[in-house]
A and B are shown apart, each in its own frame.
Chain A
Amino acid sequence: MSTIRQDSAATDGIRQEPGAPDGLHQDPTAADRVRQAPAAADTPRRPVLAVSGLEVHHGLRRRRRRVLADVTLDIAAGETLGLIGETGSGKSTFARAVLGLVHVSAGSISVDGEDVTGYNARQWRALRRRGVVQYVFQDPLRSLDPDLTVEDSLTEPLLLAGTDRRTAAGRARDLLTRVRLPHELLTRLPGELSGGQRQRVAVARALATEPRLLLLDEPVSALDSANRVHILEILKELRAAGVALVFISHDLGSVAGVADRVAVLHRGELVETGPVADVIRAPRHPYTRLLVGSAPTLHTPAASRSERAALRAQLAL
């Protein structure tokens, strides 16, 4: 994994160069380096998710605007990537693109070594049904059917994948244990659970199909301290078990404790990627500097009020 991190740091350098061409695929050296990322590693492990030159547009004709521009990212098994972006940065669109839920205008997406870019709707559905990639929303009520008991929610993806009912029921119990919830919750409806319990059930459901890649969109933003820590602990266990995680949030602070690497999206472009400690201690892009300097901290903030003001002026925010 260390090699991958180094390599991602190398891509940073390219991104930092002022006037670097927008499209990595138009820049042979950059494209080569990116493509070498997994190959150059000593480990034969290929990335669970490899996204290259991804571009997504929303709207039609005059209203058409670019939401993601040339996003290139790799995530290895057992790696946690924090994808940071604020409202309108395109971070949720990225997740939706990886799930085949939005039309991709350019670039490629490989999931677990399989190029899924040209998939049609039926192939995407089949891929999602296999459960290699799973998705957890900020609001667990959106991940869980309000009319299904916890047990039904947990067994449904297994039954769809062809597991028999008895095995699925046993798995449901294991899944609850894995997210540290008592088995008596199996008969409850989502509405009868607390917010923290609901989010843990949503994570358990996402784990039912043993995904290789889990995308989490603001999974802890709506939770209080104690529940946040619970979810973060579960994510760390998943990482240790080899699941690749994409932790999407507007708040660098909320991913700092679990991410290996962070990628910063600003207005649809990836402005910086690197190991989490490097990005926080020595952010290079002005937007990343503002992001780090804006995060509320208990101790000395990373930027003073006047530094923040200067960065905002520079970015024309």
Chain B
Amino acid sequence: MTILSPKTAVPPAAAPADLPRAADPAPAPTGPPLLVLDDVHIRDRAGGRDIVRGVGFELTPGKTVGIVGESGSGKTLTCRAALGILPPHFEVDRGSIAIDGTDIATLTPRQWTDLRGATISAVFQDPASYLNPSIKVGAQIAEVVRVKQGLGRRAARHRALDLMAAVQLRDPELVHGQYPFELSGGMLQRVLIAAAIAAGPRILIADEATTALDVTVQAEILDLLADLRERTGLALVVVSHDLAVVAQLCDEVLVMRDGKVVEQGPTETVLHTPRHAYTRLLIDEHESYGLDRFLAPREAA
């Protein structure tokens, strides 16, 4: 919630208030890139070394970029850099990041506040830790729209209920009045996604957002993200340690290891003609030990 709570009262242009339920087919969303990373290096000033060394990709509306790597590979730091929330003594020391055409190095704290939630938003692995345990979840979603869109109490409540329906929480009225401890991990992650999309962002970063969940719940959350992408043209960055999670959802894949991108390209290409040994290891694991052993291989692209 940190990235969503800062005070501002700038209503985003054309907030997709009816985004959720409306099943109207969104026009094929394309356009100029929303998020551009160019040869980004992230330095740990305390340790005196570059932790991330050269990450670059372009994300256009309705598209999904996936980042795969083990813990410590630099994928989360890359996301945090794009959100302007690097931990203390980490900095982008080479390369550039642009959100919707604006180089983030030039942003003032005030501009960052306007951007977060309204243009770029995120969900992370442990949803419970982003919610206040002593405030009902409905009120926590409503707070985001009150702060970001300047809605009144009543309107904010309605909007919160709409958003909760949009993320397919079964009984929004009931969940609205519940505390985080009363909800399952999958429901909490939906609440977090509802809060993250509350101010109608155009980019959503999902950093290991389904890692702690059961397989069927993980699929539900991934399906929900795919739905949102199709209905609203939301652009996604999906970060996972599991190549298969990324393969299901992404147009382009980056494979990271020790802070470097060891392989990058369209998902089909990376899966069919992996060039780096590490990518081959990830693919082999699935093909020798996973479900892929028993299922028909994907048709050539």
Interface residues of A (CB under 8 A from B): 86-87, 224-226, 228-229, 232, 250-254, 256-258, 276-277, 280-281, 290-302, 305, 308-309, 312, 317
Contacts and interface: CB of A to CB of B under 8 A. Distances in A.
Nearest to A295: B291
A251 B212 CA distance: 12
B108 interface: no
Closest 3 CB pairs of A and B: A257-B289, A294-B219, A296-B244
Nearest to B294: A280
Contacts of A305: 223, 226-227
A298 B298 contact: yes
B20 to A, nearest CB: 16
Overall SS of chain A's interface: helix
B297 A293 contact: no
A225 B289 CA distance: 11
A235 B187 CA distance: 35
A298 B271 contact: yes
A250 B285 contact: no
Interface of B: 70-71, 184-185, 214-220, 222-223, 226-227, 241-245, 247-248, 271, 281-283, 285-299
B297 A281 contact: no
Contact of B288 (A250, A257, A280, A291): A257
Nearest to A315: B216
B216 A294 contact: yes
A280 B245 contact: no
Main secondary structure of the interface of B (DSSP, over half): helix
Contacts of B185: 87
B279 to A, nearest CB: 11
A296 B214 CA distance: 12
Nearest to A232: B289
Contacts, number: 116
A295 B215 contact: yes
A250 B215 contact: yes
B219 A293 contact: yes
Nearest to B244: A296
B291 A253 contact: yes
Given A276-B294, A280-B294, A299-B297, 18 more contacts: A86-B216, A87-B184, A225-B281, A252-B215, A256-B290, A257-B288, A257-B290, A281-B294, A295-B219, A295-B244, A295-B290, A296-B222, A297-B290, A298-B271, A299-B296, A300-B298, A300-B299, A308-B223
Nearest to B223: A305
Nearest to A281: B294
Given A250-B215, A292-B291, A298 B296 contact: no
A2 B48 CA distance: 61
Contact of B243 (A256, A276, A298): A298
